[in-house]
DNA sequence: CAGGATCCGTGTTGATACTG
DNA sequence: CAGTATCAACACGGATCCTG
């Protein structure tokens, strides 16, 4: 609130806080998997299947964080056993725009970066 | 090459590797400071002055990483004492485009995220 | 002036086991 | 199925001292 807009040097700078979130190991991958999901909704186990290497704990933590931040919606079917569906919110989808721009840049230039070293 | 444990989700995931870099604590700030720099070149001590809170070690580490990746150029004046100038490369400047889009998103939506919790 | 070397606290990640 | 709980390992970041 009192932080100046665009002030990267403020500890509460929004850009840094955003990068703290999408920069964590599994967040960006989860967002992409959800964005690419065919029905829009993906269940927990299916998410884990599409994110090779993620542990249950980390997937759970990641999804909780994204849900708290309003980027992901969580819908529970109270069946036995329960089914939990995750999907991007409007906010999450809006993040996809700059994020996909970043992905394009990454895909175009990271190879050059690797060979350059 | 033998696959290492933990990161075999996709042998080529440039996006995550990019986020690993710009998601670290000081990288995005360094890029922005260099992008906004008036003469384009900034010396080590000046960079540290413009990045409140960064330690010598972290600034050094950050700049080495950026330099290895070809995002930052390092120019040394062999004087005594030496002067080292840092600047963005063309590649670094091209990253500024998607990165500034991300900054705009952050400034517009992070407040909503905070209030939403 | 620029940055390397070292030590260390802390947070994040991960493996494993357990539960409603 | 969809998590939670616990413990251990490790990388990150910070403080400090040292050097060409």
**A3 has pLDDT over 70:** no
Count CA atoms closer than 13 A to B113's CA, side-chain side.
Answer: 25
Q: pLDDT category, A2, cuts 50, 70, 90? A: very low
Report whether the peptide linkage leading into residue A81 is cis, meaning its omega lies within 30 degrees of zero: yes
Q: pLDDT category, A36, cuts 50, 70, 90? A: very high
Q: Which nucleotides of D are covered by protein (CB under 7 A)?
A: 1-6, 12-17, 20
Q: Is A72 left (phi over 0), alpha (psi -120 to 50) or beta?
A: beta
B112 touches chain A (CB under 8 A): yes
A21 Cα to chain B: minimum distance (Å): 9
* A114 vs A3, more confident: A114
- Its sign, for the CA torsion B87, A101, B104, B26, is negative
CB contact under 8 A, A102 and B69: no
User: What digits encode the pLDDT tens for the residues B30-43?
Assistant: 999 999 999 999 99
Percent of the residues in chain B that have a pLDDT greater than 90, as a whole number = 77
User: What digits encode the pLDDT tens for the residues A57-94?
Assistant: 999 999 999 999 999 999 999 999 999 999 999 999 99
Percent of the residues in chain B that have a pLDDT greater than 70, as a whole number = 88
**A95 has pLDDT over 90:** yes
Report whether the peptide linkage leading into residue B70 is cis, meaning its omega lies within 30 degrees of zero: no
User: What digits encode the pLDDT tens for the residues B107-117?
Assistant: 999 988 888 76
Those residues whose C-beta lies under 8 Å from the C-beta of residue B115, and which sit 6 or more positions away, are: none
Place of tokens 């517009």: B108
B93 touches chain A (CB under 8 A): no
User: What digits encode the pLDDT tens for the residues A60-69?
Assistant: 999 999 999 9
A86 Cα to chain B: minimum distance (Å): 18
The H or E element spanning position A85 is strand A83-88
Domains of chain A: 14-116 (1.10.10.10)
Q: What is the pLDDT of residue A62?
A: 97
CA-to-C1' span, A63 to D3 (A): 12
- pTM here? 0.88
CA-to-C1' span, A90 to C17 (A): 37
User: What digits encode the pLDDT tens for the residues B45-84?
Assistant: 999 999 999 999 999 999 999 999 999 999 999 999 999 9
Q: Which DSSP string do the residues of B50-89 spell out, in sequence order?
A: HSTT--HHHHHHHHHHHHHTTSEEEEEE--SS-EEEEEE-
Q: What is the pLDDT of residue A8?
A: 53
Q: What is the pLDDT of residue A5?
A: 40
The H or E element spanning position A93 is helix A90-116
**B3 has pLDDT over 50:** no
Give the chain A residue nearest B29 (alpha carbons): A8
Residues close to nucleic acid strand D (C-beta < 7 A): A 43-46, 56-57, 60, 63-64, 74, 81-84; B 24-26, 53-58, 61, 81-82
Place of tokens 């590797």: B17
Contact A52, B9 (CB under 8 A): yes
d(CA B62, CA B12): 23
- Closest partner residue to B105 among A20, A69, A98, by Cβ? A98
B100 touches chain A (CB under 8 A): no
CA distances from residue A8 to A36, B15, B20, B100, B115 in whole angstroms, order as listed: 31, 22, 18, 12, 21
d(CA B16, CA B13): 6
């Amino acid at each position: 609130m009192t932080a100046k807009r665009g002030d990267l040097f403020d500890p509460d700078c929004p850009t840094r806080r955003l990068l703290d979130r999408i920069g964590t190991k599994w967040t960006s991958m989860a967002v992409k998997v959800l964005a690419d999901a065919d029905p829009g909704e993906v269940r927990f186990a299916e998410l884990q299947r599409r994110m090779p290497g993620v542990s249950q704990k980390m997937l759970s933590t990641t999804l909780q964080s994204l849900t708290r931040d309003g980027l992901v919606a969580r819908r529970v079917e109270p069946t036995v056993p329960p089914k939990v569906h995750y999907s991007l919110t409007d906010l999450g989808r809006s993040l996809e725009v700059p994020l996909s721009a970043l992905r394009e840049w990454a895909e175009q230039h990271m190879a050059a970066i690797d060979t350059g070293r």
